[in-house]
Amino acid sequence: MTIPTYAGNVGLGPDTIAGIFIAALLVSLFFIVWVARNAKRNMSDEEYAAYRHRIERLEKIWVVLVIVALIIPNVITFQYTPQVVTGNTLAGLGVNMSALKTACPTVPPGNYQNACTSTLQSDIQQLLPLQNEGKIMIVVVIAGQWYWHFYTVAPNGSLVFTSNLTVPAGKPVVFLMTSVDVNHDFGAYDENGNLLFQYQVSPDYVSVFTYVFNIPEPIIVRCLEYCGPGHWAMVSQFTVNVV
């Protein structure tokens, strides 16, 4: 498979997205000029008061529209947010969720490299019996400028670096993710460029995220949070296989 070179290649495409932004810019520009011209006209005091009244009413409508436009898509799409089921999947397998750690010992900025080692190891010890029983697969993700490093977990709990990660279909995959520098965002796309899920990856913190891949296919991983000039190149991949 070929990996598109940058995030704009997914979905609408960079030209369409640029077109939308330019169109929005031109529409805004038109209204700015229109308002400025109207405001310049010679108006009597009564006319000006009526004009102000009209504008204030438009502003109120505008504020309500923006709030509605933000709330409605959030409410409609909430049920599709995969994070909602993370706790249920692991708790359903008997994991004591309160024993899973997410916070790492605080270290000064710039020293995040090993900050989360003990937290990761503690979580792996909690989850290892389930993996050894074949009920889950644990994947450790270390993010950095500008790479994704994947590790699998051996039966004795030690981390094994892999540049050729495969995960099973139909079985919960538990991602334990942290960053060695800045905030990143783990975005998993299927073969057709559809976003399956995304999850925040932060320094000083271990993100625990469980996902069940339904079909065997290649997965592309992109960073979905701007993390510096190499952000666009922070692309990796792994494969979902039949169990």
Residues forming the site for Cu ion (CB under 5 A): 184, 223, 227, 234
| Closer Cβ to Cu ion, 167 or 227, answer by number | 227
Residue 25 CB, nearest distance to Cu ion (Å)?
A: 27
- Supply the DSSP string of 153-202, one letter for each residue: E-TTS-EEEESS-EEETTSEEEEEEEESSS-EEEEEE-TTS-EEEEEEE-
How far apart are CB 170 and Cu ion at their closest, in Å? 29
Q: Which is nearer to Cu ion, 124 or 222 (CB)?
A: 222
CA distances from 57 to 36, 44, 120, 141, 180 (A): 18, 20, 55, 51, 50
Torsion, Cα 188 224 206 114, to 10 degrees, reads: 110
CB closer to Cu ion, 136 vs 227:
227
* Structure token digits, residue 189: 């796309």
Cβ contacts of 30 within 8 Å, gap of 6 or more: none
Smallest distance from Cu ion to CB 153, Å: 24
Least spacing, CB of residue 158 vs Cu ion, in Å: 27
Given the complex with Cu ion, which of 88 and 113 has the nearer CB atom? 113
